């Protein structure tokens, strides 16, 4: 029996190649699809502000303003251009009226909340 160092390397390489082929035959692949949808939560934060949690669709933004009817966004509405959690002071929300209104540019999200806290019954 003659094995030189080159022969040993060849045998080890052949064994590793056989193991790799066998492992490849046992492997499986899968595709995972995640659908993240736009979402909004607008809550009072003390007497002078609001907590906004928002997840926007790609390329969308939201507008936040005060109004009594919450129809169309005010021209000077506060713009939210990215998803996230924001503390927003009442003094920074433009407009007048008894509601804080939010609408996304893609018309998927809408939210309203009274400016003043609703008294407990």
Evaluate whether 107 touches 62 at the Cβ level (below 8 Å).
no
The pTM score is 0.69
C-alpha to C-alpha distance for 66 and 94, rounded to whole angstroms: 6
Contact 54, 39 (CB under 8 A): yes
**8 Å CB contact between 64 and 77:** yes
What is the bridge-based pairing of β-strands 99-104 and 110-114? Answer: antiparallel
Q: What is the pLDDT along the chain (121 residues), one digit of tens a residue?
A: 333 434 444 444 444 444 555 555 677 888 988 888 999 999 999 888 999 999 999 999 999 999 999 989 989 999 999 999 999 999 999 998 999 999 999 999 999 999 876 666 6
Kindly list the structural domains of the chain, giving each domain's residue range(s) and its CATH number in brackets, ordered by start: 39-114 (2.60.40)
């Amino acid at each position: 029996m003659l094995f030189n160092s080159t022969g040993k390397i060849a045998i080890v390489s052949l064994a590793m190649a056989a193991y790799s082929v066998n492992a490849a035959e046992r492997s499986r692949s899968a595709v995972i699809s995640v659908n993240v949808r736009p979402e909004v939560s607008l809550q009072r934060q003390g007497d002078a502000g609001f907590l906004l949690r928002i997840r926007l669709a790609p390329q969308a933004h939201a507008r936040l303003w005060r109004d009594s009817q919450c129809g169309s966004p005010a021209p000077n509405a506060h713009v939210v251009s990215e998803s996230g959690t924001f503390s927003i002071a009442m003094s920074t929300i433009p407009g007048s009226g008894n509601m804080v209104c939010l609408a996304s540019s893609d018309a998927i999200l809408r939210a309203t909340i009274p400016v003043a806290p609703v008294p407990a019954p």
